[in-house]
Structure 1
Amino acid sequence: MNAAAKPARRILWANVSTVISAAILIGAEVFGAAFAGSWAIATLFELGDMGAKVFDVVFVLIGIAVMVKFVRGATRVEPFTTAG
């Protein structure tokens, strides 16, 4: 066996499950708020269906950025793998 071989990494399924569960819960809230917010703003300013769709796209892109940041931060706190 090669002495320089890296030790096998082990998946920490409890951490994976925790992060995925939290991401699903927070994602539902973030994207629900995005669609509700876009509808409310478009209605408030009487922008019509096209204005609502534009705000949908903008807020969903912001929501994706929020979720990426959340998952990256969560994997720092709850790492998915460990050495050995």
Structure 2
Amino acid sequence: MRASPMKKLKNEKELVKKAIQIGVAYAEKRGVVEFEATDSASEKLLYIYRLLVHDKIIQPLPEDQVSQPTIQHKLAIWASKQP
């Protein structure tokens, strides 16, 4: 079975930025990580994704589908639902 291609969100780029902002704040508030200025966006996104899955806030992707584009998309959707 092949997954259908992801439909890009209209403002996905902005939502990915929002996801990083909210996700970093969430992770640091929980006291599980302190991000460095040198951490790349992709490192932050992967960490935030894994943390949100661990905390059962989002559904995990099938492991064979975990990639930078799918994580960005998943977190953009999550960010779009945040106040």
Give the TM-score, by structure 2 length: 0.34
Answer 1 or 2: higher relative contact order, Cα 8 Å, separation at least 6.
1
Higher percent of residues as strand = 1
TM-score normalised by length of structure 1: 0.34
Question: Which of the two has greater helix per residue?
Answer: 1
Q: Which has the larger radius of gyration?
A: 1
